[in-house]
Amino acid sequence: SNEKNVLFTIFGGTGDLAQRKLYPSLFRLYRKGNLGEHFAVIGTARRPWSDEHYREVVKETIRALNPSDEEATTFASHFYYQSHDVNDSTHYQTLKELSDRLDGHYQLNGNRVYYLAMAPQFFGTIVSHLKSQNIMTKNGFNRLIIEKPFGSDYQSAFELNQQIREVFPEQDIFRIDHYLGKEMIQNISAIRFANNIFEAQWNNRYIDNIQITFGENLGVEDRGGYYDHSGALKDMVQNHILQVVALLAMEPPVAFSEKEIRTEKIKALKAIRIYNEEEVLENFVRGQYAQGELDGVQFKGYREEDKVDAQSETETFVAGKFTIDNFRWSGVPFYVRTGKRLTEKGTRINIVFKQVPVNVFKTSVDEPCDDTTLPPNVLTIYIQPTEGFSLSLNGKEVGQGFETEPIKLEFRNSAEMVENSPEAYEKLLLDALNGDGTNFSHWEEVAQSWHIVDVIRKAWDQTQPDFPNYKAGSMGPKAAFELLEKDGFEWIWQP
């Protein structure tokens, strides 16, 4: 059967992520039979909760999935709460005793997943204690799932990684990048490697530029405390965006396996140019939202948000151009942008193809002609909120004479399909249970991403930004548009 025997220990068990994503995902796996009688969850955090209270909380988090009373109660009965101070060795003893007891009771065969879903400054301590306090088993698997941020620059990431590697081998470390669990991000590989019409053209001879937009309409919400120390560059570019660039840019893997895909992704990341300070200022722009209005709703500026410094220089928007120095991509800009409080939530990729060599419809043998360009062919991958593809082409306008006209082939997954497809976290949890690291970030990917981003951060830190510089509800600062204009391009998606 597909059923897994496993004990999850969730550090940060009372937290937002656990409640919003992890418990519902575990429940979905339970419903599908990937988890059955032989699983247990220990939730830990500082506050003192009883098992009863914890189980009530868990039940509440799965309410939207409409379980029957019995189903919810049986599921929740597998959850145990342990109040835990991550710096106190004696607490790990209690944790060990509970773990061993549950292992026997549910016949878990020593299989353990430790999930770090709490403030990153505790990651190192927790992992060291798992070993020193003998919590890890000898008979089953011991895997670590670790949430972002993985470090705050290369150096801190390196140190954290050293600490973790003293306890877990690389293949047992699952660094979450939840974008890699998204259906349409996974679909990038299908588009590329299952369709000759695209892969044949997937290079600098046929592609003009690639545009990646990760727009959010939300502001920082209640995460000001974290976000004001992070900013959009570290929150979105270092991880999600660079992972997507790697998937778009990599060479076809020899086989569609973890090892082969990883090899190609790392090579792609290594080919991204590390800018010097001058190049950073030329190729990357930052923004911070001011108050603004959208659809009659007023939004406050970033500096007025809760737990944000009133003089904050943290960016809530980044746009930039990555340059990839290899045979396939030399000369093709990869433009990226992401921001909070933009016009709408929209994550999409536009692959912009080059013009036909000559526009025979506009050239004339005996008259000068200035309008010679056709709209480009664009392949769009819609990641969210809708999921699908479109391809824009040029056709003939119906009727007498000959005028070309842009047309679009469109495909979207149905709302029902999107609704019923597994959540990113559900897929990633099951991957980790299967020991499959394909959709997680390998250390070398993380390291290279930090090298790329560190120089941008450093260059920015030398100069004072002119913040705020875009209105809430807009698509970012003017500089983000100029970035493409100076190369003779424009953002394809302009909501």
Interface with ligand BG6 in residues 307-366 (CB under 6 A): 347
Give Cα separations from 218 to 344, 345, 469 (angstroms).
Answer: 8, 8, 17
The one-letter amino acid at 29: L
Number of residues that bind ligand BG6 (CB under 6 A): 3
Q: Which residues of 432-463 are buried (b: 16+ CB within 10 A; e: fewer)?
A: bbeeebbbbbbbebbbbbbebbbbbbebbeee
Residue with smaller CB distance to ligand BG6, 235 or 258: 235
Is residue 267 annotated as involved in ligand binding? no
Is residue 103 annotated as involved in ligand binding? no
Give Cα separations from 122 to 73, 128, 150 (angstroms).
Answer: 32, 10, 12
Site map 122..161 versus ligand BG6, x via CB under 6 A:
----------------------------------------
Q: How far apart are CB 274 and ligand BG6 at their closest, in Å?
A: 24
Residue with smaller CB distance to ligand BG6, 216 or 445: 216
Write the burial class of residue 401 (CB in 10 Å: 0-12 exposed, 13-18 middle, 19+ buried): exposed
Is residue 458 annotated as involved in ligand binding? no
Residue with smaller CB distance to ligand BG6, 347 or 469: 347
Is residue 88 annotated as involved in ligand binding? no
Residue with smaller CB distance to ligand BG6, 136 or 349: 349
CA distance 363 to 121: 63
Q: Is 84 a catalytic residue?
A: no
Residue with smaller CB distance to ligand BG6, 347 or 377: 347
User: Residue for token digits 């904050």?
Assistant: 312
Q: How far apart are CB 232 and ligand BG6 at their closest, in Å?
A: 8
Q: How far apart are CB 235 and ligand BG6 at their closest, in Å?
A: 5
CA distance 427 to 494: 32
Site map 165..204 versus ligand BG6, x via CB under 6 A:
----------------------------------------
Chain position whose Cβ is nearest to ligand BG6: 235
CA distance 238 to 335: 14
Q: Note the residue count of the chain.
A: 495
User: Residue for token digits 């973890």?
Assistant: 258
Which stretches does DSSP call E strand in 259-403? 284-287, 289-290, 292-294, 297-299, 317-322, 334-339, 346-353, 378-384, 388-396
Residue with smaller CB distance to ligand BG6, 23 or 227: 227
Interface with ligand BG6 in residues 218-247 (CB under 6 A): 235
Write the burial class of residue 324 (CB in 10 Å: 0-12 exposed, 13-18 middle, 19+ buried): buried
Q: Which of 103, 172, 216, 258 binds ligand BG6 (CB under 6 A)?
A: 216
State the virtual CA torsion across 231, 236, 239, 240 in degrees, nearest 10.
180
Q: What is the largest CA-CA distance in the chain?
A: 90
Q: How far apart are CB 241 and ligand BG6 at their closest, in Å?
A: 11
Q: How far apart are CB 77 and ligand BG6 at their closest, in Å?
A: 31
Given 78, 240, 442, 451, which residue is catalytic? 240
CA distance 267 to 279: 22
State yes or no: residue 426 binds ligand BG6 (CB under 6 A).
no
Is residue 387 annotated as involved in ligand binding? no
Instruction: Let me know: does 219 contact 289? Beta carbons within 8 Å.
Output: yes
Instruction: Let me know: does 388 contact 413? Beta carbons within 8 Å.
Output: yes
Q: How far apart are CB 116 and ligand BG6 at their closest, in Å?
A: 15
Is residue 138 annotated as involved in ligand binding? no
Q: How far apart are CB 239 and ligand BG6 at their closest, in Å?
A: 7
β pairing state of 142-146 and 112-116: parallel
Residue with smaller CB distance to ligand BG6, 61 or 347: 347
Note the Cα 237 to chain centre separation in Å. 9
Is residue 235 annotated as involved in ligand binding? yes
Binding-site residues sit at 46, 85-86, 148, 178, 182, 216, 235, 340, 345
Binding-site residues for substrate sit at 178, 182, 216, 235, 340, 345
Q: What residue ranges bind ligand BG6 (CB under 6 A)?
A: 216, 235, 347
Binding-site residues for NADP(+) sit at 46, 85-86, 148
Give catalytic residues, as residue numbers: 240
